[in-house]
């Protein structure tokens, strides 16, 4: 039996201490350590109830080529969701769905439940946060009240597992949310890491033995961690996060970990009055409302998994009144921005040391590809010089520290998407995919300096030269 006494557990990463401290040594979080009563040690979980035996029980070992009775995957009926899971929920698997409160997790899962229930599968939706009436109200609003989803408001996992074990095992069970669940085998209060871990363990065991696909909803803390469930992340088969900001209508479902599928696919949804609508052509959505005439905007031909995605990168470079100029980034890696700025200074002949730099990926999208370097550089140079970039041009390519423009993967797919959306030209690295398929002109770059010169030759806007700094040394075309 595990020893029961007071322990101090970090609510962010699950590290256990024997006395309180202000800062967790494991994850460096401040004020995350809370006193808990319960089993100690990193393996603390359900208390062992079986009497210990001197010898183990013999179990059957099986070959890899056993019979699989049912289809291993159950499509959800929502294409954008299936794209992220890799073609549907795997039977017996557990998915953790994280996201900010109010982003639409419950809405998405209610729609998925209803769609799956309509195919004749048994679907159970357990809400630990809302009363049955509230969940019904939402279903009604979504026009889904006729779907045969089984509904309950419950928080005790033993009761939930016992109930789900009655009758035909459900194809899908949704637990909304894991932070509200509690198990009798652990003494800590609900919501603590120990409880979350204990409850998740019980539910995961149920999924594996019954073949039910279980989705655990997890809340996200201010700093983007799935609170508490960070300790659950390694126990589950897949982790997906639902992102977007309240100011924008669209939402992105992203796989963070997936034992049964890709991790670089995204699903794009739009929040409407009637719930979440799938967005099959996200590029058109992200480019909507683009201001062609403004300097400082460049279209990046990106990839999200197997799907090309065009997005607008916006930059604003303005003289700074601060000793330490501001660099603010939304939707991209700030370290990468610093690197691109340094390369532009060192190899592009541009001085940005006395300028504030703001960078924004339009539409609230977050991109992580290094291939965005070139589009970012183009937007920055355009904003600084006041020269508008040609509106029908897309940019992609990675920039090395030497200023070299390096090839990136899947150039043909990027070009094809650009062509489909009416673009005429691509500025890209030399090498693979270059030449396109005829209809699109490509400008292959070897070095960042070539692009800087190219943008400058578009001619800066009249009166664009700014006070208080040396104008960048572009070729003078006035
Ligand atoms: P919800 O699914 O409850 O979020 P979560 O479970 O992630 O906390 O979504 C709540 C938000 O979604 C709320 O702000 C209202 C909005 N919403 C719509 O815009 N349209 C709809 O049809 C529904 C059901 C919700
Ligand atoms: Mg919810």
Closest-CA residue, ligand 1 atom 14, reads: 102
Distance from C-alpha of 412 to C-alpha of 400, rounded to nearest angstrom: 21
CA–chain centroid gap for 182, Å, is 27
Distance from C-alpha of 76 to C-alpha of 368, rounded to nearest angstrom: 28
Indicate left, alpha or beta for 322 from its phi (over 0: left) and psi (-120 to 50: alpha).
Answer: beta
Cβ of 97 below 6 Å from ligand 1:
no
Q: Report the candidate in 201, 231, 208 with the shortest Cα–Cα distance to residue 45.
A: 201
More confident residue, 164 or 263: 164
Q: Report the candidate in 347, 377, 385 with the shortest Cα–Cα distance to residue 359.
A: 377
**Whole-structure pTM over 0.85, yes or no?**
no
Q: Report the candidate in 307, 279, 244, 304 with the shortest Cα–Cα distance to residue 81.
A: 279
Q: Does the domain made of 73-280 have the CATH classification 3.40.50.300?
A: yes
Closest-CA residue, ligand 1 atom 25, reads: 275
Distance from C-alpha of 392 to C-alpha of 422, rounded to nearest angstrom: 7
DSSP notation for 326-347: -EEEESS-HHHHHHHHHHHHHH
Distance from C-alpha of 91 to C-alpha of 71, rounded to nearest angstrom: 8
Indicate the range of 168-177, 255-264, 332-341 predicted with least confidence: 255-264
Question: Which residues, in sequence order, are bridge partners of residue 276?
Answer: 271
pLDDT at 237: 93
Closest-CA residue, ligand 1 atom 1, reads: 104
pLDDT at 297: 93
Q: Ligand 2 center to residue 176 CA distance, Å?
A: 7
Average pLDDT over residues 319-345: 93
Cβ of 295 below 6 Å from ligand 1:
no
Residue 439: CB partners within 8 Å, gap ≥ 6?
419
Percent over 70 (pLDDT), the chain = 86
pLDDT at 462: 40
Assign a CATH topology to domain 285-456: Ribosomal Protein S5; domain 2 (3.30.230)
300 pLDDT higher than 90: yes
53 pLDDT higher than 70: no
CB 378 within 8 A of CB 456: no
Cβ of 241 below 6 Å from ligand 1:
no
Provide the mean pLDDT of the chain. 84
| Cis, bond preceding 177 (omega within 30 deg of 0) | yes
Q: Where are the domains of the chain?
A: 4-42, 73-280, 285-456
Q: Ligand 2 center to residue 392 CA distance, Å?
A: 41
Distance from C-alpha of 242 to C-alpha of 252, rounded to nearest angstrom: 6
User: Which of 107, 126, 135, 270 for a ligand 1 pocket mutation test, highest count of atoms within 8 Å of Cβ?
Assistant: 107
Domain 73-280 identical in fold to domain 285-456: no
Average pLDDT over residues 83-88: 90
pLDDT at 6: 78
Atom of ligand 1 nearest to the CA of 107: 2
pLDDT digits (tens, 9 = 90+) for 435-459: 555 678 889 999 999 889 888 776 5
Residue 448: CB partners within 8 Å, gap ≥ 6?
343, 344, 347, 348, 377, 399, 403, 404, 405
Cβ of 12 below 6 Å from ligand 1:
no
More confident residue, 248 or 392: 392
150: enclosing H helix or E strand: strand 150-153
Percent over 90 (pLDDT), the chain = 46
197: enclosing H helix or E strand: helix 193-210
């Amino acid at each position: 039996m595990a020893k029961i006494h007071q322990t101090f557990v970090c609510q962010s990463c699950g590290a256990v201490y024997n006395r309180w401290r202000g800062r967790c040594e494991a994850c460096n979080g401040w004020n995350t350590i809370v006193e808990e009563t319960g089993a100690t040690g990193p393996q603390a979980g359900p208390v062992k109830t079986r009497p210990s035996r001197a010898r183990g029980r013999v179990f059957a070992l099986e070959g890899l080529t056993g019979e699989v009775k049912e289809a291993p995957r159950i499509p959800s009926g929502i294409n954008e969701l299936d794209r992220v899971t890799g073609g549907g929920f795997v039977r017996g698997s557990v998915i953790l769905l994280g996201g900010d409160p109010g982003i639409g997790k419950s809405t998405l899962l209610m729609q998925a439940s209803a769609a799956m229930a309509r195919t004749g599968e048994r679907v159970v939706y357990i809400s630990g946060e809302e009363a049955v009436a509230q969940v019904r109200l939402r279903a009604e609003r979504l026009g889904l009240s006729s779907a045969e989803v089984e509904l309950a408001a419950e928080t005790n996992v033993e009761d939930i597992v016992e109930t789900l074990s009655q009758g035909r095992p459900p194809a899908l069970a949704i637990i909304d949310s894991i932070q509200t669940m509690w198990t009798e085998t652990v003494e800590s209060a609900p919501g603590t890491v120990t409880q979350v871990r204990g409850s998740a363990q019980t539910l995961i065991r149920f999924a594996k033995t019954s073949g039910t696909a279980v989705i655990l909803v997890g809340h996200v803390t201010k700093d983007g961690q799935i609170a508490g469930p960070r300790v659950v992340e390694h126990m589950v088969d897949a982790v997906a996060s639902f992102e977007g900001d309240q100011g924008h209508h669209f939402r992105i479902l992203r796989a963070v970990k997936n034992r049964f599928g890709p991790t670089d696919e995204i699903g794009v949804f739009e929040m409407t009055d009637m719930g979440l609508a799938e967005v099959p052509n996200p590029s058109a959505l992200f480019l909507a409302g683009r201001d062609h005439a403004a300097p400082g905007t460049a279209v990046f031909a990106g990839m999200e998994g197997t799907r090309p995605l065009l997005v607008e990168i916006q930059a604003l470079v303005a003289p700074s009144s601060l000793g330490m100029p501001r660099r603010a980034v939304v939707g991209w890696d700030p370290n990468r921005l610093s690197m691109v700025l340094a390369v532009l200074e060192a190899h592009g002949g541009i001085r940005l040391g006395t300028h504030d730099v703001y960078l924004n990926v339009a539409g609230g999208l977050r991109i992580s590809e290094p291939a965005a370097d070139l589009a970012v550089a183009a937007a920055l140079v355009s904003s600084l010089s006041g020269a508008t970039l040609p509106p029908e041009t897309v940019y992609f390519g990675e920039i090395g520290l030497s200023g070299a423009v390096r090839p990136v993967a899947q150039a043909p797919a990027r070009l094809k998407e650009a062509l489909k959306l009416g673009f005429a030209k691509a500025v890209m690295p030399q090498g693979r995919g270059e030449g396109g398929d005829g209809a699109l002109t490509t400008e292959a770059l070897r070095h960042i300096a070539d692009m800087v010169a190219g943008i400058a030759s578009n001619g800066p806007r009249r009166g664009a030269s700014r006070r208080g700094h040396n104008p960048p040394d572009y070729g003078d075309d006035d």
